[in-house]
Amino acid sequence: MNQADFLHIVMPFKDKVFRLAKRLLVSNEEAEDATQEILLKLWSKKEQIENYANVEAFTMTMTKNFCLDRLKSKQANNLKLVHSNYKDESVSLQKQVEAKDSMSWMARIMEKLPEQQKMVLQLRDIEQYEFEEIGKMLNMKPTAIRVALSRARKAIREELIKKHNYGVS
């Protein structure tokens, strides 16, 4: 397998890997490092890739494990305190200030969720995977996914309503 073949396989989901990593690690730099690491790991295993039934699900599982390991390690905990990149410049520059504000607010709400809910929400509402696929990636049963997802969505709703009632972020 040469570089072009590899990129052909990896391209469609490399952004998803990055977004899941960023959801878990929050820091942009950390997420980029993690994504690079995962792509290099895949590259080193490129001969076996063809044997995997579902490379994308396999990679997402790898990403999940890698990021959770990072979070566990001390190093990542230190970094977590430093970051503060809630805004995504490429997109929000075109948006109004108010919209930008609510974006960063949403990001902060999501950051407060437990890791499992974060992942489920990320994979479902942002990447729009089917429950079955999410189950493969996170090694969870569909019912468990449903429960986690419902909790995550309701938690966000609660925060949003709170904000509405007090008018403060």
Partner 1 sequence: MELANIEKLLEKYFEAKTTIAEEKALQTYFSQDEVAPHLEDYKPMFDYFSVAKEEQFTRHVPLKPERKSIYKWISVAAAAVLILGVYFSQSPIGVQPDQPSYTEAELKTAEKALAMLSINLNRGVEKVEHLDNFNKGAVKVNHLDEFKTNTNRFLNKKQ
User: Mask of contacts with partner 1, 20-59, x by CB under 8 A?
Assistant: --x---------x--xx--xx--x----------------
**Alpha carbon distance 27, 41 (integer Å):** 21
Out of 51, 90, 93, 168, the only residue in the binding site for partner 1 (CB under 8 A) is 90
DSSP three-state, residue 7: helix
* Cβ atoms of 33 and 75 closer than 8 Å: no
- For residue 130, the minimal CB distance to partner 1 (Å) is 6
Piece in contact with partner 1 (CB under 8 A), picked from 50-58, 63-71, 72-80, 120-128: 120-128
The b/e string for 156-168 (b: 16+ C-beta within 10 A; e otherwise) is beebeeeeeeeee
- For residue 39, the minimal CB distance to partner 1 (Å) is 5
Piece in contact with partner 1 (CB under 8 A), picked from 47-55, 68-76, 77-85, 88-96: 88-96
Q: Could you tell me where the DSSP H helices lie in the chain?
A: 3-25, 28-44, 46-49, 55-72, 74-82, 89-92, 97-112, 115-121, 131-138, 142-166
* Cβ atoms of 87 and 160 closer than 8 Å: no
- For residue 19, the minimal CB distance to partner 1 (Å) is 6
**Alpha carbon distance 137, 92 (integer Å):** 30
Distances (CA, A) of 156 to 39, 51, 74, 163: 32, 40, 29, 11
Piece in contact with partner 1 (CB under 8 A), picked from 18-26, 55-63, 71-79, 111-119: 18-26
Q: Is 80 a residue that touches partner 1 (CB under 8 A)?
A: no
Residues found near partner 1 in the complex (CB under 8 A): 2-3, 6-7, 14-15, 17-19, 22, 32, 35-36, 39-40, 43, 88, 90-92, 99, 102-103, 105-107, 110, 124-128, 130, 145-147, 149-150, 153-154, 156-157, 160-161, 163-164
